[in-house]
Structures are given as structure tokens and as C-alpha cells.
């Protein structure tokens, strides 16, 4: 696994910004645990608590023209990209003022204005969408890159292998980010994927780096290096981030398939605690950051609660193309 030499000059300011992003993701998802338990969130949610460093680190290396496709566990990715917290919270709570008018919810939230092509409830399904976006960047000469986030559960999906092949053949500016938390739903990764991602990438001649996914500076550095390679036209790149899934596969999952010792140890790998300790050593107090973020999230929750629910008539709007006769009326 590669290590990263963190840039020293702007380290405090840079780490503060990364910490704030991680704190925002953590506070939003902790709020969602309460809202879900209270029945205020329709459908299922899949939380990324413990994996915040991957989202914050990768997003910090992106530029305005870049795009990304994410997964069912994608809250952190879209928030790190800069998605409006109020619009996000309204969307997750199924409100009219949500970014997708309450129709997408947790597993399909999107914001094309930020290049967020959407989350996806199908394992691995965002990977070919990101490939298409990378091809568009290449054809239009935007200078942008496309990012496909996926979990280790998608490593056995044929669409990943096909995407690696096509992206390598066409030298597409595609960054494939694997959040390897060791679990594919309820099964350890080793039980559902016989190979190693590094070797799979090598089979297609695709560059690869492995990084400690709980070290936000290491992830940010690796993502910047990968981005520079992509923008130089060197073809796709795979970034594997070894991280920790604290909550269950879905919210409410009792995780009886995990050893008690493993569950007790997950907090020792907390990326927020690690980054916070590093900032404290630099003389930076993180309490103010956390308080400001908590207030922002609380306000977003209250705004969502006050927002209207969509009507049944609105639910079918934008689903079917209007006929000429309907437009005339």
C-alpha cells in the first residue's frame, strides 16, 4: 500500500478544510440516523460513517468541470462535492424542495449543476455512467475527469471489468475509486472476490494506487496525483482506499454477522478523530468547526420538516414526454 508525503506549507488550512467536510458528512448522517428511527425518512438509507476521509479527500482534488457517479452509500460523496445541505436534506426526507423534488431520495440524489450524475441503488451501476461521462469530457475537450465511486462488493461485477477494458482502450479520463471497507453487504470481501483489485487493474494496463482510506490527507494527495495523470491524457486510474464501515449495510442492520471484537475496534480507525488529533497538534481547535457544522445541519433538518410534501399529481411530472396535443392545451 502506498504512503503519502503530506504537503507541509498549507497543511493546517488544508487539513481544516478537509476536516470541516468530514464533520459535515458525519453530522448529516448522524442526524439521518435519528430521522430514520423516527420515521421521517422514507425508504432505506445506507450510511458512510467511518468512510468520510475517502469522500473528502477525493472531492478536494476535483475541479468545477469534473463529474462523478456514486453508489447507494453516496451521501458523503455528494456533500463533499458541494451539494447544498438544505436541498440534500429535503431530498432525503422526500420534500418538494429537494434537489430532485423529493423523487430521488437517498439512493438516487443528483445535481447535474455540480456534475453529480446521481447515486445508484444497483451495485456497480454508476461505473459505466462515469465512463460515458469521461468519454464526453474527452470528446468535448473539457479538461475534466469523471469519477466512479464503488465499493469492494462491486469488484466481482462484470461491468467493472468491461469498463476497465473500454477506458483503457480509449484512454478515458476516468478515476475509479474503490471504497474497500471489507464487506460486501453481509459477506467479507474475500468470500465474494477471488482476485485483487491491483492485479485486475494491471491486467488491463491501468494505473493503480492503494492508500489508507482513513487518512484524509493521504487520500487527498493520492487523488491529486491521479487527477494530474488523468488530465495529462494517460488513461484511466484506479484508487483503492482501505476504510472502515461503522454502521450496517443499511440503517437498522444489526450486524450479527460481524465479530463483537471487530465492532468494538472500528472506532479506533475513526478518520475524524485522526484528523482532529493532527489539527490539535498544530494548535487548531476543532470544537468551533463542529459547532458551526452542527448548527448548519440542525437548520437544514428544520427547513426540511417545514417544507411541503409533493402531491400525487406532481409525482408523475417529468416522467413521460408530453404529446403535442398536451402542449397545445
CA dist., res. 205 & res. 226, Å (int) = 15
Own/partner contacts of 281-287, CB < 8 Å, gap of 24 or more, are 282/11, 282/12, 282/15, 284/12, 284/15, 284/16, 286/19, 286/23
Q: Is the pLDDT of residue 83 over 70?
A: yes
- Mean pLDDT of all residues in 252-268: 66
Residue 247 has a pLDDT of 63
Over residues 225-246, the pLDDT tens digits come to 999 999 999 999 999 999 887 7
Count how many residues are written for the chain.
Answer: 329
User: Which runs of E-coded beta strand occur in the chain?
Assistant: 67-69, 146-151, 174-180, 183-184, 187-188, 207-212, 237-242
Over residues 12-34, the pLDDT tens digits come to 899 999 999 999 999 999 999 99
Q: Is the pLDDT of residue 288 over 50?
A: yes
Q: Is the pLDDT of residue 264 over 50?
A: yes
Over residues 147-192, the pLDDT tens digits come to 999 988 888 888 999 999 999 999 999 999 999 876 565 566 776 7
pLDDT category of residue 249 using cuts at 50, 70 and 90:
low
- Give yes or no for a contact between 180 and 241, defined as CB atoms under 8 angstroms apart: yes
- Give yes or no for a contact between 170 and 138, defined as CB atoms under 8 angstroms apart: yes
Residue 311 has a pLDDT of 85
Distances (CA, A) of 190 to 102, 151, 213, 283: 37, 13, 19, 42
Cell readout for 156 is: 466481482
Over residues 123-152, the pLDDT tens digits come to 888 999 999 999 999 999 999 999 999 988
* Average pLDDT over the chain, rounded to an integer: 88
CA dist., res. 190 & res. 276, Å (int) = 32
Residue 24 has a pLDDT of 98
Express as a percent the part of the chain with pLDDT over 70.
86
The number of C-alpha atoms within 13 Å of 145 and in the hemisphere containing its C-beta is: 30
Please name the fold of domain 11-328: Rossmann fold (3.40.50)
CA dist., res. 84 & res. 99, Å (int) = 8
Residue 37 has a pLDDT of 85
**Pairing between strand 187-188 and 67-69?**
unpaired
pLDDT category of residue 9 using cuts at 50, 70 and 90:
very low
Distances (CA, A) of 113 to 26, 78, 251, 281: 24, 12, 29, 38
Q: Which pTM value belongs to this model? A: 0.88
Helices (H) and strands (E) in the chain, counts: 13, 7
Of the two residues 320 and 272, the one the predictor is more confident about is: 272
Amino acid at each position: 500500500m502506498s504512503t503519502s508525503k503530506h504537503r507541509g506549507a498549507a497543511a493546517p488550512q488544508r487539513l481544516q478544510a478537509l476536516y470541516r467536510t468530514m464533520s459535515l458528512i458525519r453530522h448529516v448522517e448522524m442526524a439521518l440516523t435519528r430521522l430514520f428511527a423516527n420515521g421521517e425518512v422514507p425508504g432505506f438509507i445506507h450510511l458512510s460513517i467511518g468512510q468520510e476521509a475517502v469522500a473528502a479527500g477525493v472531492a478536494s482534488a476535483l475541479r468545477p468541470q469534473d463529474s462523478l457517479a456514486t453508489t447507494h452509500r453516496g451521501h458523503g460523496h455528494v456533500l463533499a462535492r458541494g451539494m447544498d445541505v438544505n436541498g440534500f436534506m429535503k431530498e432525503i426526507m422526500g420534500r418538494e424542495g429537494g434537489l430532485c423534488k423529493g423523487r430521488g431520495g437517498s439512493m438516487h440524489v443528483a445535481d447535474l449543476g455540480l456534475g453529480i450524475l446521481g447515486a445508484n441503488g444497483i451495485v456497480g451501476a454508476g461505473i459505466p455512467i462515469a465512463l460515458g461521462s469521461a468519454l464526453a469530457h474527452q470528446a468535448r475537450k473539457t479538461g475534466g475527469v469523471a469519477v466512479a465511486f464503488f465499493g469492494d462488493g462491486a469488484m466481482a461485477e462484470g461491468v467493472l471489468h468491461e469498463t476497465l477494458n473500454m477506458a483503457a482502450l480509449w484512454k478515458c479520463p476516468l478515476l475509479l475509486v474503490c471504497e474497500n471497507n471489507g464487506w460486501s453487504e453481509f459477506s467479507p470481501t474475500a468470500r465474494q472476490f477471488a482476485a485483487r483489485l491491483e492485479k485486475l487493474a494491471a491486467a488491463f494496463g491501468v494505473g493503480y494506487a492503494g492508500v489508507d482510506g482513513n487518512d484524509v490527507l493521504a487520500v487527498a494527495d493520492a487523488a491529486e496525483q491521479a487527477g494530474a495523470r488523468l488530465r495529462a491524457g494517460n488513461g484511466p486510474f484506479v484508487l483503492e482506499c482501505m476504510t472502515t464501515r461503522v454502521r450496517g449495510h443499511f440503517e437498522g442492520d444489526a450486524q450479527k454477522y460481524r465479530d463483537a471484537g471487530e465492532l468494538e475496534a472500528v472506532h479506533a480507525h475513526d478518520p475524524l478523530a485522526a484528523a482532529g488529533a493532527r489539527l490539535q497538534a498544530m494548535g487548531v481547535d476543532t470544537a468551533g468547526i463542529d459547532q458551526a457544522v452542527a448548527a448548519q445541519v440542525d437548520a437544514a433538518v428544520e427547513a426540511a420538516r417545514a417544507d411541503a410534501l409533493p402531491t400525487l399529481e406532481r409525482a408523475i411530472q417529468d416522467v413521460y414526454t408530453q404529446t403535442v396535443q398536451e402542449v397545445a392545451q
